[in-house]
Amino acid sequence: MTQFGVPRNPVNWVSHITAAVVSQPARDPAVVERTNLLNMAKLSIKGLIESALSYGRTLDSDYPPLQQFFVVMEHCLKHGLKVRKSFLSFNRTIWGPLEMVEKICPEAEEVAASVRDLPGLRTPLGRARAWLRLSMMQKKLADYLRYLIMRRDILSEFYENHAVMMEEEGTVIVGLLVGLNVIDANLCVKGEDLDSQVGVIDFSIYLKSEEDEHNREGRNVHISAILDQKNYVEELNRQLNGTVSSLHTRIDTMEKSNSKLIEELAIAQNNIIKLQEENHHLRNENAMIFMRAQHLEAAKASIEAEQMYRRHSRHGLSEIFTDICTHHDQSQLAQNSEEDGKERDVKDRLDGNSRHIAAAMKPQEPSDKEIVAKPRNIEISYMKDSGVESAPQYKLIKDISF
């Protein structure tokens, strides 16, 4: 027996299956169908990986194991598909659920857009086949179908509850598809007739003789070594990718820090320029204040000198004023003394004249007219003799005259 339950001798393979079916109790046909499709998917994926590694180059559309893989995947996706009625006929195609992948996985939008842009595709089945091939070339087939089987609410619109995609077998098949990422495929989808292809599973490529089995075991050893090397390279590549990602993260962090430091440096330089301008302005103000202080000191010295001069001037003026007042007082006293002397002289003279008049009046006894006329003559004679026009003297003479 092989790993997947197929006997080494192809002749006994049919009898082995018949005996297994007779000995086992009746099973649900849907379960049997899902199991058979799961086993076929295992054989197809395993055979494709082994043959691709031994083939040693990029696979193309004419490679038989690759063609059979797409046929098996088409049968798995068709299992349990609901019949959808349209205006012209019943529609039962796998393009419906595959088209929904782009709505739950944004990465699949490019594949769906490329499928819609392909010329020559007339049927939904042709677009579904093109979608499988493009996803295979992108090495994203397992990822896209994993997003799809996680959304049972979307799958229930297209599949019955017993379908492969709705049960555990679908999850196992999607897990097996991850191994196809080691294969490089270069498929010409544009020129291939995908609408009219007949999807028939060819079991002959999975049935091997004992010699082929022996040769395959030798190839398996070689393939195992290659896979180990490939796994080592992939692991090293993952580590390098992790290191590169870490370095990119550090570079981004350092660039952000550098940008922040550059901004802070620019702000600091602007602050330094502002402080220098303020310092220069303060220095200018300090110089102006110093100059004003010098001017104020000079003005203060000038004011003090002027005040000193004024004090000296006031002192001198006070002395002069005192001297003037003293001299004025002395002059006034002298004048007053002189005036008093003059008044005494006038009085003495008047007294003499009075006595003379009295002496003259006694012997001669003049008339009234003569008495009146004489004083006038005396007044006139006195004014001519004295030659002084003084108000007090004039008053005195006038009083004497009358």
Output the pLDDT for position 165.
92
DSSP state of 5: S
Query: For residue 90, what is the enclosing H or E element?
Result: strand 90-91
Output the pLDDT for position 100.
92
Average pLDDT over residues 288-294: 90
pLDDT at residue 127 is higher than 80:
yes
Query: For residue 42, what is the enclosing H or E element?
Result: helix 29-55
**Using an 8 Å Cβ cutoff, are 6 and 212 in contact?**
no
* pLDDT digit string, tens, across residues 357-387: 777 666 555 555 554 455 444 444 444 444 4
pLDDT at residue 97 is higher than 80:
yes
Other CB atoms closer than 10 Å to residue 208's CB: what's the count? 17
Angle between helices 210-364 and 29-55 (to 10 degrees): 80
Identity of the amino acid at 190? K
> Coil, strand or helix: which one is 27?
coil
* pLDDT digit string, tens, across residues 259-268: 889 989 999 9
pLDDT at residue 303 is higher than 70:
yes
Which stretches does DSSP call E strand in 103-201?
none
Q: What is the pTM of this model?
A: 0.49
Please report, rounded to a whole number, the percentage of residues in the chain having pLDDT higher than 70. Answer: 71
The C-alpha angle with vertex 214 and arms to 210 and 218, in degrees rounded to 5, equals: 165
Output the pLDDT for position 143.
92
Average pLDDT over residues 102-124: 89
**Using an 8 Å Cβ cutoff, are 283 and 289 in contact?**
no
d(CA 321, CA 331): 14
Output the pLDDT for position 2.
41
Confidence of residue 315 (pLDDT cuts 50, 70, 90): confident
Confidence of residue 183 (pLDDT cuts 50, 70, 90): confident
Output the pLDDT for position 222.
64
d(CA 45, CA 34): 16
pLDDT at residue 182 is higher than 90:
no
Output the pLDDT for position 145.
93
Instruction: Specify which residues 185 forms β-bridges with.
Output: 59
Length of the chain: 402
The more confidently predicted of residues 315 and 98 is 98
Output the pLDDT for position 208.
59
Confidence of residue 149 (pLDDT cuts 50, 70, 90): very high
Query: For residue 85, what is the enclosing H or E element?
Result: strand 84-85
Residue spans of the domains in the chain: they are 11-208, 324-401
pLDDT at residue 355 is higher than 50:
yes
- How far is residue 305 CA from its own chain's centroid? 67
pLDDT at residue 227 is higher than 90:
no
Output the pLDDT for position 186.
83
Output the pLDDT for position 385.
47
- Structural tokens at position 299: 């003005």
* pLDDT digit string, tens, across residues 17-50: 444 444 455 678 888 999 999 999 999 898 888 8
Dihedral over Cα of 270, 273, 274, 275: its sign: positive
Which of 58-62, 92-96, 361-365 ranks highest by mean pLDDT? 92-96
The more confidently predicted of residues 69 and 350 is 69
Identity of the amino acid at 192? E
Pick from 119, 23, 19, 135: which is nearest to 70 by CA?
A: 135
Report the mean per-residue pLDDT for the chain.
Answer: 77
pLDDT at residue 148 is higher than 50:
yes
- Could you tell me the fold of the domain covering 11-208? Methane Monooxygenase Hydroxylase; Chain G, domain 1 (1.20.58)
Output the pLDDT for position 22.
43
Burial class (CB in 10 A: 0-12, 13-18, 19+), 194: buried
Average pLDDT over residues 119-124: 86
- Structural tokens at position 137: 């070339």
Query: 3-state SS of the chain: helix, strand, coil percent to 5?
Result: 75, 0, 20
**Using an 8 Å Cβ cutoff, are 27 and 162 in contact?**
no
d(CA 150, CA 104): 10
314 Cβ contact list (under 8 Å, min separation 6): none
Pick from 36, 39, 15: which is nearest to 27 by CA?
A: 36
The more confidently predicted of residues 255 and 3 is 255
Output the pLDDT for position 72.
92
pLDDT at residue 152 is higher than 70:
yes
d(CA 128, CA 136): 12
Give the C-alpha distances (Å, rounded to integers) separating 8 from 132, 209, 214: 33, 7, 10
Other CB atoms closer than 10 Å to residue 76's CB: what's the count? 23
The more confidently predicted of residues 357 and 304 is 304
pLDDT at residue 333 is higher than 90:
no
Output the pLDDT for position 382.
43
Output the pLDDT for position 147.
93
d(CA 288, CA 292): 6
The C-alpha angle with vertex 137 and arms to 133 and 143, in degrees rounded to 5, equals: 85
Output the pLDDT for position 349.
76
Average pLDDT over residues 101-122: 89
398 Cβ contact list (under 8 Å, min separation 6): 379
- Structural tokens at position 377: 């003559």
d(CA 191, CA 58): 18
Please report, rounded to a whole number, the percentage of residues in the chain having pLDDT higher than 90. Answer: 25
Average pLDDT over residues 127-155: 91
**Diameter over CA atoms, the chain:** 221
End-to-end CA distance of the chain: 192
